[in-house]
Amino acid sequence: MEEVVGAAWHRFITRIANRSYPEAAVQLDEVANLAGPLLRAFGGEPGLRVASAGETRHSARRRLIDHIAATGDKTTHAALDSETLRLPERIALFPERARNRELYLWLIALAGEVSRQPLPAQPAAADAPAPSAPPDASLWARARDIARALVLMRPIEWDKADTRAHAARNAWLQLNQRAVAAVLARYPGLAARYRRLVDAHLAQRPDPAKLPPDEAAAEQAIRAALLTPGSVTALPATTRDPHPVPLWLMPALDTPPPQPLHAEAEDDAQPGNEANAALRERKQARREDLPDGRDGFVLPFRAESLLSWAEYVRVNRATDEGDEDAASAAREIDTLAVARGGETSTAKVRFDLDLPAAAQDDLPLGPGLTFPEWDWKRRALVDDRVRVQPMRARDANNTELPEALRRAARRLRAQFSALAPQRRWLRGQQDGPELDLDALVRWQAERAAGCVQPEPGVYAAPVRAARDLACLVMADLSLSTDAHVSDTHKVVDVVRESLLLMGEALDATGDPFAFYGFSSLKRNHVRVHTIKEFDEEYDGAARGRVQALKPGYYTRMGAALRFATKVLGERPNAMRLLLLLTDGKPNDIDHYEGRFAIEDTAAAVREAHRAGLRPFCVTIDREGADYLPHLFGPHGFVVIRDPQELPQRLPQLYAQLTAA
């Protein structure tokens, strides 16, 4: 009975204290497809990604009902760092759904304006004082450095004597005012929307007349800054946080997502898992060590302290809670204690990712090649940064086309044979295997009329029309291709079938082509599997090498594209098509992840364009539309939603790309 009454009271009091409008809520997923292109349209850096933000505590004054319900002490700020724009997972601040959606669009526009000034590559240390930046320095960078200095002060209790905290508040105020004024000046059409958002938000802010003098002065300053951006130079010092301003951004610290220890770590992060929505939010974290199993639980033990201990206890404990309970608990946690796995997990990872012995590995072709890599923070290529090792399958045998693919292969050969160069006749030649009857009759008529030509061309010679193009296909063979797409097929099986059918189609056209696959294990071991080179026939040996393909390691895409650019750039053909088949973002287990990997791949694509190639990406990653426009351009990629359609779609894409 006590639990029933407690649950009923909790539902009642939280409903009374709730100031949001769930019926008008807008989810981030609803604007996700628009967020990336809109961010770039407003001037945001192309490499920025959009993700969800987590809740943070604040010390702003709350209502009595909030204290009773134990709510209102957290808020979700839109935050921006050098790699990610983090937006609230859900906005339900206003009773109108259209207004909540407008807030998403306004925050994206504001972030686009702020990111026009790139953030510094090397931020200040956590214990460094607030920097005294020159007048022309990025104000956002100043606020971010100060936020880094205050990272250990969560939740922040603003102290009048704390000059760093006061400087952080003033930098936050000034940078948002400048950004708002710049957005309104650059895009006058947003002024009406901004005014509607400000009016709706001011109606929800606390009344300055009911606040203590110092908080009232700060509230008046924020109201003035919202109504007239740029009119307030500093906030009065207060002992509490100001009331949150959802129309402004917060400077976030650069915290790239951790690399999963093994493939199963990514399963819970799939979009379809609703219980995991809280785990996608940004959280403060600290590192801890796992218990060694030799220490006791707590010594000395004091029973009266059980309800007051809130520190992390180094003990493993099982849980019977479901996914929903775990997600609810994750939302309530302010700081996550993160520990690396124990010996069993580490041993498994090392076993899976160790390179095979030389006697069992594929055959290396030559000593390998070195390529540069783009360092986006330094805005420069680092020479000889990556080593690419071409290889060829050791255990590949001559094989025929699988029976299941023969019908589709016959159809593709019949269709693509129409693209093969056709023989045509050159008429009016001085020599040839046949007479040109039209030229002969014309010559006889002119001769009868008295116009005699010396040595007229009356022969016809056959010539073959040429399709002056070459194609190189580079297939992603990373560890993620070992995932299942159906009960009978994995991603790597789909890649094999796609290459087999693509080979049949290209062989029918007579166009020169080459097949390669790639994976990587850090920058010094990028494996490029040679399947078929340009000067090789597409025969049973090439099919056997396709059948021998197996999942490798990681996806250092920039190095693979530079290798393909070198090989294809040596071809004399007028049109050179570089097709990339992949199932996800570029990544590796060293620093090659996030913005670094995206920018290096984009630089490799630009190098391919400068070499006269036409790079094109075919992906089965459903999130590919978020980052591929930055890499390959708006018309340089295609996302195939159903991976099992890839074998049929790939030859069709080739026909469309080479039709001109």
Question: Which residues, other chains included, contact 24 with Cβ-Cβ below 8 Å and sequence gap of 6+?
Answer: 92, 94, 95, 96, 97, 99, 100
What's the CA gap between 592 and 238, in Å, rounded? 43
The two tokens of residue 411 are 């159809």
pLDDT > 90? residue 582: yes
Instruction: Give the pLDDT of residue 309.
Output: 44
**Alpha helix (H) residue ranges in 491-556:** 491-509, 540-547
Task: Give the residue from 485, 492, 489, 557 showing the smallest Cα distance to 519.
Answer: 557
Task: Give the residue from 282, 240, 90 showing the smallest Cα distance to 155.
Answer: 240
The residue with greater pLDDT, 198 or 420, is 198
> Tell me: the pLDDT tens digits for 609-640?
999 999 999 999 888 888 888 899 888 999 99
Question: Can you list the domains of the chain with their CATH numbers?
Answer: 2-251 (no CATH), 263-353 (no CATH), 387-417+467-657 (3.40.50.410), 423-464 (no CATH)
Of 24-28, 61-65, 307-311, 555-559, which gets the smallest average pLDDT?
307-311
Instruction: Give the pLDDT of residue 471.
Output: 94
- Taking residues 281-302, report their average pLDDT: 52
Q: Are 541 and 436 in contact (CB under 8 A)?
A: no
- Taking residues 504-524, report their average pLDDT: 92
The two tokens of residue 219 are 């509230």
Pairing of strands 369-375, 380-392: antiparallel
> Tell me: the pLDDT tens digits for 37-89?
888 888 888 778 888 887 777 777 777 777 777 777 778 888 888 788 889 99
- Residue 508 buriedness (CB in 10 A; 0-12 / 13-18 / 19+): buried
Q: Say which residue the tokens 């056959």 belong to.
A: 462
Q: Are 132 and 145 in contact (CB under 8 A)?
A: no
Q: How high is the mean pLDDT of the chain?
A: 77
The separation between the first and the last C-alpha atoms of the chain, rounded to the nearest angstrom, is 77
> Tell me: the pLDDT tens digits for 226-245?
999 989 988 888 777 788 89
What's the CA gap between 143 and 76, in Å, rounded? 18
What's the CA gap between 605 and 585, in Å, rounded? 14
**Helix pair 191-202, 213-227: axis angle to 10 deg:** 160
- DSSP character string of 597-636: HHHHHHHHHHHHHHTT-EEEEEE--TTHHHHHHHHH-TTS
CA angle 653, 658, 660 (to 5 degrees): 125
Of 277-286, 328-337, 522-531, 586-595, which gets the smallest average pLDDT?
277-286
Percent of the chain with pLDDT over 70: 73
Instruction: Give the pLDDT of residue 163.
Output: 64
- Taking residues 107-125, report their average pLDDT: 65
